[in-house]
Structure 1
C-alpha cells in the first residue's frame, strides 16, 4: 500500500486542480469536435507573395486542412508579410555580429460576402549570428526565417481558431 506521506504537497495541488479543471469551463481549442475544427477547413487561404509567403501558406494549409482543401469555402484569409532585418551586434571593426529578424504579418479573414470578420497583426522576432563564414551566416538567417514563419502560422491559426470557438453561430452567420 503506498504511503501518502511520500506524496508531496505539490502533487496533491496538481491532482486537485486537474479534478476541478472541467468545472471551470475549459474547452480544448483544437479538438476533433470543436467549432474551430469544423470551421478551419472552410477557410480558403489565398496566395501570399514571395518564397516566404509560400512557406507561410503551406504551414497554414497543413494546420487548417485535414481532409484536403475546401470545395466550397465560406471564408477567405488574406495575409501580407513584411520582413525586416536589423543589425544589432557591432564588432570593433564596425562589422555586424548579430542580427534580428522582425516578421510582421497582417491578416484579414473575410466571409463570402467580402466583409472582414477578423483582422489583426502578428509579429515574430528571431535572432541569428553573422559569422565570418558566409555560408554559415546564410544558414543561420534561413533558420531564423523558418522559425519566424512557424511562429506566425501558429499565431494566426490560434487567433482564427479562437474566433470560431468564441461564438460559432455568429461566426458562421457572418
Structure 2
C-alpha cells in the first residue's frame, strides 16, 4: 500500500518532469498552428502535394484517400511536391482445408512512394507502407468478391494514412 507521502512524491516528480518537457519544443503534428522548418503551415505544405494517378481500382482508392486527407476536401494549393506511388498486391491463403480450398485469405497491399520537388525534379523523400486485411471466403461468388473489395478498401485506407503520416513528419522537419 502506498503511503500519502510516497504518492505526493510521485506526483511532484511527474509535475517537475512535465514542466521540463514543456519547453522542449514538442508540438503536435496535426495541430492548427503546426509549421514546417521553413515557417509555412504544415496543412499548406500537405495540400501542395500533387498525388500522381495510380493504376487500378485500389490505386484510385489510395490516391483519393490521400488527396482528401491532404486537402481536407478543399482546393489543393499550387503543387510544390509530386508524389509517385507504386502498389503491389498479394493474396495470402489462410486456413487451407484438406481439399485444398482456403477458408480465409489475407489481402496484402504494399506501397512504395517517392516525393519529388516540382521545381528541381529531384527526389527529396522515399518510403513505403504496408497493410494486411484479412477476409473470409464463402461458397457464393458474389460474397467472395464483396469480401475482397472490402479488404482492398480497408488496406487502401491504412496505406494512405501511413503515407500521409510519413509525409507530414518529413515535411514538418524540412
Inter-partner Cα distance in structure 2 for 1:47 and 1:90: 36
Following superposition, the deviation at residue 133 of structure 1 comes to 2.4
| Residues 31, 37 of structure 1: 8 Å contact kept | no
Q: Which moved more, 1:129-138 or 1:154-163?
A: 129-138
In structure 1, the partner of 2:26 is 26
Q: Which moved more, 1:131-140 or 1:72-81?
A: 131-140
From 134, 138, 147, the counterpart of 1:131: 138
From 106, 128, 137, the counterpart of 2:112: 106
Inter-partner Cα distance in structure 2 for 1:83 and 1:21: 43
Name the SS for the 2:88 alignment partner. strand
In structure 1, the partner of 2:126 is 119
From 93, 99, 109, the counterpart of 1:93: 99
| Aligned residue-pair number | 158
Q: Which moved more, 1:111-120 or 1:24-33?
A: 24-33
From 40, 43, 49, the counterpart of 1:43: 49
In structure 2, the partner of 1:172 is none
Give CA-to-partner distance per residue, 1:9-60, whole Å, 9 cap, x none.
9xx69x8577665344321111222232221111111111111111111100
Query: Structure 2: which 5+ runs fail to align?
Result: 37-41
Inter-partner Cα distance in structure 1 for 2:156 and 2:18: 34
Q: Kindly indicate which of the two structures has a greater share of residues assigned to helix.
A: 1
TM-score, normalised to structure 1, is 0.80
In structure 2, the partner of 1:82 is 88
Q: Which moved more, 1:130-139 or 1:144-153?
A: 130-139
Backbone CA RMSD of aligned residues: 2.3
Structure 1 runs (4+) greater than 6 angstroms displaced: 17-20
Name the SS for the 2:138 alignment partner. coil
